[in-house]
Structure 1
């Protein structure tokens, strides 16, 4: 309970790899099981099958769930069973010897449903099964196994009787203590032999630990509820309602105790070897699944120091989805994290240009700054790209690197077609970043002189007029 993902410590694990002893969350194993080959997600590190532990890992401790057990037994399925028991109890009063067959059938249905409750809850299905789920033709077999267990227990009592009254008392106490364990083992393994095996039952109690004794105490108390209720209502309701009420309440509280047994197995699902019902996420369409899987795998490989595999995963997926922003950013940051100077020198400008092309200049600026901090300024030989990244840096108030990108652009590329806009940007950088009003006004005057037909002239004139007004000395107030 409460195991966290190995790579996302703030997230509960949904999958576990026995070989690697690592737990994974839904971000590490994205999508639905139907997104995977044969509906079987595998560990990215060792390629072995993962076990779903989502339901058991999210399960709260047994003793914190008391209200849930009582609510569970008033769902549609349990209420149907309890109502059938009440109707059957009312009917048998006038059936004579046929009432025996009705009673046996009723017991068989109730026992089958209770064992199904234990089985489904243990696997992680928190909603009560429907009445139809229990009609699988196994009610008679279950009833026969219960009768067999009673006969075995009775035979053991006969043997103990030969050893004296003390032995019988000890045996009776042992039967009472191991009763819940026997029902659970029968529900999970469908074997009467396992359910009457003392060693098997003892092993079960050891796996559950001390909460088992809390379970025993709880089920004992709840099972006694119908007997305590009858004296309270006797004389207050018509006599003909007593038997149906007893049947209804007995069935209800038996389902409550079964829910307790099933839930405690859920909390120890892995230790008991119970097959988990997959706590599945939403199915993803192929492109989205491929993208998320690549991001998850690359992240895990990078955390494990398997850089070449991380890079291979991202490159393969980028060939299919070259314009995905997240994949491109993850790839760029992978190059930074692995200090791949050669790749950054060759691919860095191309990747930065891709972000600008995808209308993400702010992302290009962020990655440019990350590169500048660790590798130095990347060599960008395209004037337009330098200009666009400088604009994004200016908007992020990164004035110094923005200045470095456009300051000598006119010298390095005198034929750049957007020099007028670059001069305007340079004037803004000097004004806002360095308070160099004189430099800004010179640049604005230069643009108006050299580019009389420029599309940026309205903005240039407006900015120049603002700077001119600020440069005038403030008028002194005249004496009265």
Structure 2
């Protein structure tokens, strides 16, 4: 059964908690270790079962073209070439026979390794060294033993029940042969590969796709035979023999890759877990980002409606890290959704700064309205923040909000270095936004008179000249030689 994440419908589940009966996707479990198959449930803290790619893998019938491309990677092509062409170059003596048999064993070892490699989530073939080094050569002899035992079972059926029972036993053996090959490749156990109950359980757990794959395997076998017959009948022996061997090996790799993929597709039903592997890229243990776990917990609690819990989590983080912009943004969205004016007022300096940094004039306007309701006549006590908020509002045409925010700025902050920028914004708002030129001129003259040491002083004559001509207040044109910061509209 394929399951979606409980919190993200449409996302395949990768973890399942048997205690909470909840499925989680990768996004819900950023701190889990998929390589070690270890993850703790965010709800109860108990170890969970890793589902691997069981819920996300593409059905084998949707990737037939990939199966046919599989043998044409570099590694399998070299294996096929060595095992097919080298015997042709050897002398017909005992040494040549031994080398040929060894190469045949290596080829079959490689094909069985393909099943295990694919079942483990590798969609590219095993490396060349798999065929010629390491252990696992006994798989060929184990398979021969399986064939002998299966033949003995059929023969025993004929002795006990006659031709009818023999035919029934033979039909089961033929039907269960792909399952037997899969079991042998995964477990390297002759007993498991010939146990009729074991094979019947595997077939029943996979269900009807097993029989669909069986049909594909029959077609592949027929196609392989037809291609080899064509090569033998239409080409000279020097060409036909290696071509037939190449075709036989190629179709065998395709067949075994399909068997491995069937195991990979139905891993959950078969009781193991594997995921798609990034072949060729080494895995490293990197420190896990704890903030991702925190984000996932917030997301799940929000979906469960635990808003108080989310607020407590954010409050605790902000107590330890007051300037964390990401958490401030999350807090703003939570308070906005809850329409919590009390907490809006408590955290308003950080929220206003966050909104100003994001140039969110709409959010600033809405929050200022909330603050006005919470405290009639509300005024910001931070002159720099007031100017930054006013600048964001001005850029989005919120002119009345700008004037209200900077009202009586010179009385509230008479010695502030932000007085000149604040009243320049007021002048630009009056002139450019409201076409009130006389009032704009008055504020510009105030800056010229009171802020004599401010860097903006050198630009006041230009602004005044523009205001007197009823031109937009944009200040002097940019210069790359003057070294003076220019405020533009």
Question: Same fold by TM (over 0.5)?
Answer: yes
- After superposition, the C-alpha distances for 1:69-104 in whole angstroms (9 at most, x for unaligned) are 1221122332233223314643677135983x5565
- Residue 152 of structure 1 pairs with residue 135 of structure 2: no
What is residue 474 of structure 1 aligned with on the other side?
A: none
Give 1:128's aligned residue: 125
Task: State the match for 1:296 in structure 2.
Answer: 296
- Pairing 1:468–2:468 present: yes
Structure 1 residue 310, shift from structure 2 partner: 4.0
Tell me, in whole angstroms, the C-alpha distance in 1 between the residues paired with 2:325 and 2:276.
32
Q: Cα distance, 1:249 vs. partner?
A: 2.4
Q: What is residue 172 of structure 1 aligned with on the other side?
A: 170
Q: Per-residue deviation at 1:4?
A: 5.7
Distance change (3 Å), C-alpha of 1:289 and 1:109: same
Q: Is 1:371 aligned to 2:367, yes or no?
A: yes
Aligned equivalents of 1:173, 1:431: Cα separation in 2: 93
- Aligned residue number for residue 305 of structure 2: 305
CA gap of 1:102–1:283, structure 2 versus 1, over 3 A, is: closer
Equivalent residue, structure 2, for 1:421: 421
Alignment partner of 1:362 is 2:358 = yes
Q: Matched residues in 2 for 1:198 and 1:411: separation?
A: 93
Unmatched 5+ residue regions in structure 1? 472-480
The answer to whether residue 122 in structure 2 is matched with residue 109 in structure 1 is no
Give 1:24 deviation, angstroms: 1.7
Cα deviation code 1:308-336 (max 9, x no counterpart) = 65456556666776654323323443454
Of stretches 448-457 and 380-389 in structure 1, the one that deviates more from structure 2 is 448-457
Residue in structure 2 matched with residue 258 of structure 1 by the alignment? 256
3-state SS, counterpart of residue 17 of structure 1: strand
SS in structure 1 opposite 2:72? coil
How far residue 366 of structure 1 moved from its aligned partner, in angstroms, is 6.5
Alignment-derived partner of residue 232 in structure 2: 234
2:115 alignment counterpart: 118
| More displaced stretch, 247-256 vs 223-232 | 223-232
- CA distance 1:284–1:202, change in 2 (3 Å): closer
Is the Cα–Cα contact under 8 Å of residues 31 and 283 in structure 1 kept in the other structure?
A: no
- Superimposed CA distance per residue, residues 35-92 of structure 1 (whole angstroms, 9 cap, x where no aligned partner): x9x7834343333445555645553221121221122112233223322331464367
How far did 1:215 drift?
A: 1.1
Q: Higher relative contact order at CA 8 Å, sep ≥6: structure 1 or structure 2?
A: 1
Give structure 2 stretches of 5+ with no counterpart. 472-489
Distance 1:375 1:154 in 2: 87
Question: Take 1:267 and 1:80, find their aligned partners in 2: how far apart are those partners?
Answer: 28
Deviation of 1:126 (Å): 0.9
Deviates more, 1:377-386 or 1:66-75: 377-386
For 2:203, the equivalent position in structure 1 comes to: 205
Partner Cα distance (1:283, 1:331) in 2: 34
CA shift digits 1:218-264 (9 cap, x unpaired): 11222233421233223544435544443332222111101111122
The structure-2 alpha-carbon separation of the partners of 1:217 and 1:296, relative to structure 1 and needing over 3 Å to count, comes to same
Structural mapping, 1:42-441, within 5 Å: 42-49=40-47, 55-87=53-85, 89-90=87-88, 94-95=92-93, 99=97, 105-134=102-131, 135-140=133-138, 142-162=139-159, 163-234=161-232, 236-277=234-275, 279=277, 286=287, 289-307=289-307, 310-311=310-311, 314=314, 323-337=323-337, 341-350=341-350, 352-353=352-353, 355=354, 361-362=357-358, 368-369=364-365, 371-372=367-368, 380-441=380-441
* Match in the other structure for 2:25: 24
Deviations 1:143-184 (A, max 9, x none): 232123212211221233243433333333322222212211
Distance 1:125 1:400, change over 3 A: farther
Query: Deviation at 1:113?
Result: 2.0
Computed over aligned residues only, the root mean square deviation of the Cα atoms, in angstroms, reads 3.8
Q: In 1, distance between residues paired with 2:90 and 2:176?
A: 33
* Matched length: 460
Distance 1:229 1:278 in 2: 33
* Matches of 1:234 and 1:373, distance apart in 2: 88
CA distance in 2, matches of 1:58, 1:312: 35
C-alpha distance in 2 between matches for 1:300 and 1:323: 24
Looking at structure 1, the residues matched to 285 and 459 of structure 2 have their Cα atoms a distance apart, in angstroms, of 48
Comparing 63-72 and 169-178, the one that deviates more? 169-178
Partner SS, residue 347 of structure 2? helix
| Distance in 1 (alpha carbons) for counterparts of 2:195 and 2:23 | 34
